[in-house]
Amino acid sequence: MSANERATRALREILQNPGNDTCADCGAPDPDWGSCSLGVFICLACSGIHRNIPEISKVKSLSLSRWEDHEMQFMAENGNRLMKSKYEAAVPIYYYKPTHKDCQVLREQWIRAKYERQEFTEPGKNFTYEEGTRDGILMKRGRDNGQFLSRRFVLSEREGTLKYFTKFDAKEPKAVIKVDTVNATFQPEKIGNPNGLQITYLKDYSTRNIFLYHENGKEIVDWFNAIRAVQLHYLKVAFPGATNAELVPKLTRNFLKEGYMEKTGPRQTEGFKKRWFTLDHRRLMYFKDPLDAFAKGEVFLGNRDHGYSIYTGLPTGTYCNSAWQHGITIETPERYFLFTCETESDQQEWVKLFNDVMSAPMSPQEYTMEAMFKHRH
């Protein structure tokens, strides 16, 4: 057996230790890279980020690189579980820990925060996300012309608001957004920028989207986590008896699914039109274009015990001029909504998610939202 084969076998044995079977940074299964300077096992995608900080991390492939005996010993003595207890000792409860499904900028800033800036190694540090206010310039997409222009944003914990101003010295904000209605989610592909952030909020009971970016990855991720910190502060005041475990899921969330479907109108005699759909937990919104400021319409998905159902296919006799043949019918207490998907796999994915949402119990806030939808529509 060659030295290389022996090393590979020894590393595979170290991988069996608890915690080493997933990437130390994003949780992806079966990591096949290691940082021999940090003592962690990581996936291919995270190894690329580590390679960008060579003064901190030296990465090697578990199967293709040549490992020295002392490096393997270092990996055996450390490993993911021990290094997490060091580098993630004091991660704030609101801080978003990315998974392998998240975009590059989130994963890169998490890795840099952990190892390069060592933000979480000891409790009691003053975090930039917790300063109570954050004031800065972000690039915002114009609602009508699609051009990105610099806008001043101010986040205030005391007021529980995010405001933006069209001019830096403007007295009056263009919008005042209450943090309890805000969602923020990274959308690099949709926005066309690796640091693209979508902010969604309620304005007069309608959903409004704004699309932002900052050239600096740390800056945009700091804004994102600062919003989450302010939201957690707001929720602790609003729900004094709630635990962190109950409150954290109420902070920003990723959309369950987005994509094109075709839909017909309420009379179901109009033609099917292609629309961009966003499923944000119980709210299914549809837009003419993925970057529209306002949804053309929204469907509230309540609990199946309250008259909400989902069916594969369209009702018998439906006039269907859609080029897409894979139908979905949503029944609400008021009406039926008919959609078609381009592929069967798309249809099945939407149906599974709709089923999951309709099976979940509703919170008091969701009952309020349902009543608001009924009042509006």
Exposed, middle or buried: residue 194 (CB in 10 Å: 0-12, 13-18, 19+)? middle
In this prediction, residue 57 carries a pLDDT of 96
In this prediction, residue 76 carries a pLDDT of 92
In this prediction, residue 133 carries a pLDDT of 92
Exposed, middle or buried: residue 33 (CB in 10 Å: 0-12, 13-18, 19+)? buried
In this prediction, residue 375 carries a pLDDT of 67
- pLDDT, tens digit, 9 for 90 and up, residues 19-38: 999 999 999 999 999 999 99
Give 267's contacts (C-beta < 8 A, 6+ positions apart).
Answer: none
Asked if the model's pLDDT at residue 251 lies above 70, the reply is yes
Over range 82-90, report the average pLDDT.
96
- pLDDT, tens digit, 9 for 90 and up, residues 316-338: 877 777 789 999 999 999 889 99
- pLDDT, tens digit, 9 for 90 and up, residues 64-83: 889 898 999 999 999 999 99
The single-letter code of the amino acid at 278 is T
Dist. CA 319–CA 142, nearest whole Å? 38
- pLDDT, tens digit, 9 for 90 and up, residues 55-69: 999 999 998 889 898
Asked if the model's pLDDT at residue 377 lies above 70, the reply is no
Over range 41-58, report the average pLDDT.
96
Confidence of residue 2 (pLDDT cuts 50, 70, 90): low
- pLDDT, tens digit, 9 for 90 and up, residues 169-210: 889 999 999 998 899 999 999 999 999 999 999 887 788 999
Asked if the model's pLDDT at residue 154 lies above 90, the reply is yes
More confident residue, 124 or 218: 218
Confidence of residue 3 (pLDDT cuts 50, 70, 90): low
Confidence of residue 153 (pLDDT cuts 50, 70, 90): very high
Dist. CA 56–CA 5, nearest whole Å? 27
Q: Mean pLDDT, the chain, as a whole number?
A: 91
Dist. CA 187–CA 199, nearest whole Å? 10
Asked if the model's pLDDT at residue 222 lies above 70, the reply is yes
